[in-house]
Structure 1
């Protein structure tokens, strides 16, 4: 439940920030008449996300066991790929997110009336589909479906409340620190989903090695015990993984975490150089101060 809550919270905050930037910019340029179209696009994104979740939940029941395992393993790997991309994308584009979205709005305003609808649908739909797919993959890995769904919904509701508070100036929230550390946490969650997906493919005989565990931790983590339930629900932990699952988990964590921490280090150095004391070259620009306040800070 905690893992799905965090997924819902993180993705919800990303979507909330995007919506807030789009709405604020349309108001700034005096095109509030386009807000209805934007909300239509956002509504389409929400409907598509719910549809994806419904298909993932009930669609596989008509398939054979082997087909279900192949589908589950494949979608788990796709979910890992999407959340990995999301972690790196937010880490590298967070500081320029506001500028990029405003450029997209400017381009959409000059096009057909449907461009704003499409912008809203694509901007928010990506977050929604990622949430649906990754929550499903986490639930399929052994988390209690009802609790996992409640966790995701609570996370999204929390994100909505925080996003509203930020837009109204009621909440001060270190978004950079939040996205940085949740990124690290989600690397380990995604590694567990990857291991689960590999296990599904092994059960379907797509990958060999099922039924031959690399080691057993059942003496420490008893199956069905509290620790097993907690670790399984958050990290898709299994006390008797196969060698393919162990290798996949280790390689993913080592490679992705190293790249992610390296990116954070380079970003921190670039920020330090950017804010280094410089000789004043003229009067302060008030517009620049307002501009910087709408962006996500790029360092923790």
Structure 2
């Protein structure tokens, strides 16, 4: 439940910040009459995300067991790739998100109402599709359709409240640090989802090694115990993983976490060129 709360909070907060920046900029620039197209784009993005989630859920239920495992494993790997790209992208652009969005909005205002709808639709829709895909894979991994959804809804509700407080100017936090540490936690969650996806592909006979277990500590950490449920719900922990699952988990977690937590190098500013007259005088 905590892992899905984190997903809902982070993805929802990104979308909330985008909406807040768009609305605040329109209001401050005297374009309050253009708010309707922005909200239309947001509503379309939300509807698309819900439809995508429903398609994943009901479409997969008509497949055979092997096809379900292959689909679930493939989408798990895809969702991990999207989440990894997202956390690195937000780490790089968190400080400049406002200016980037305002630039896009200026261009959309010049083009008309349709461009405003498209701008807000794509700005929010990307987050919604990523959330739907990642939550679906998390629900499949946990085998529980209630708690993951409750956690995600609580995270989304929290993000809406935080977004409203940001818009009102009553809440200020360091967004770069917030997205950095929540991103690090999401990388850990994503590693578990990736390992689960590998297991699905093994059960679908797409990858070998289903019977080759790395270890089995089911007697120590029972899957139906409260701590076993907690570890599975947060990190998709499995007490009897295969060798391939452990190898892939390590190959993903170690380098990605290291790269993500390594401070970015600031580029040195270019030295100003001296006028030609000064260069000749200095010789």
TM-score w.r.t. the length of structure 2 is: 0.92
Contact 1:11 1:127 in 2 (8 A): yes
The total of aligned residue pairs comes to 269
CA distance in 2, matches of 1:144, 1:181: 27
Structure-to-structure mapping, 1:173-184, within 5 angstroms: 173-184=173-184
1:201 maps to: 201
CA distance in 2, matches of 1:18, 1:229: 35
1:150 maps to: 150
**How big is the shift at 1:113?**
2.4
1:136 aligns with 2:142: no
CA distance in 2, matches of 1:103, 1:178: 24
CA distance in 2, matches of 1:85, 1:56: 22
Moved more, 101-110 or 210-219: 210-219
1:266 maps to: 264
- Partner of 2:61, secondary structure, is helix
CA shift digits 1:224-260 (9 cap, x unpaired): 1112111111111101111110011000001111111
Contact 1:6 1:152 in 2 (8 A): yes
Structure-to-structure mapping, 1:239-254, within 5 angstroms: 239-254=239-254
- How well do the aligned residues superpose, as a CA RMSD in angstroms? 1.5
2:115 maps to: 115
Q: Which has the larger radius of gyration?
A: 2
**How big is the shift at 1:220?**
2.1
CA distance in 1, matches of 2:19, 2:172: 18
CA shift digits 1:184-238 (9 cap, x unpaired): 1111100000000000000011000112211112232112111211111111110
Question: Can you give the 5+ residue segments of structure 2 that lack an aligned partner in the other structure?
Answer: 270-283
1:167 aligns with 2:167: yes
**How big is the shift at 1:143?**
5.1
* Residue 143 to residue 3, structure 1, CA distance change in 2 (3 Å): farther
- Partner of 2:7, secondary structure, is helix
1:234 maps to: 234
**How big is the shift at 1:112?**
3.8
**How big is the shift at 1:173?**
2.8
**How big is the shift at 1:66?**
0.9
CA distance in 2, matches of 1:250, 1:212: 17
CA distance in 2, matches of 1:225, 1:203: 25
CA shift digits 1:144-182 (9 cap, x unpaired): 211111110111011101110111122233323221111
CA distance in 2, matches of 1:106, 1:165: 25
2:36 maps to: 36
1:83 maps to: 83
1:52 maps to: 52
CA distance in 1, matches of 2:69, 2:247: 20
Question: Can you give the 5+ residue segments of structure 1 that lack an aligned partner in the other structure?
Answer: 275-300
CA distance in 2, matches of 1:259, 1:176: 16
**How big is the shift at 1:266?**
1.8
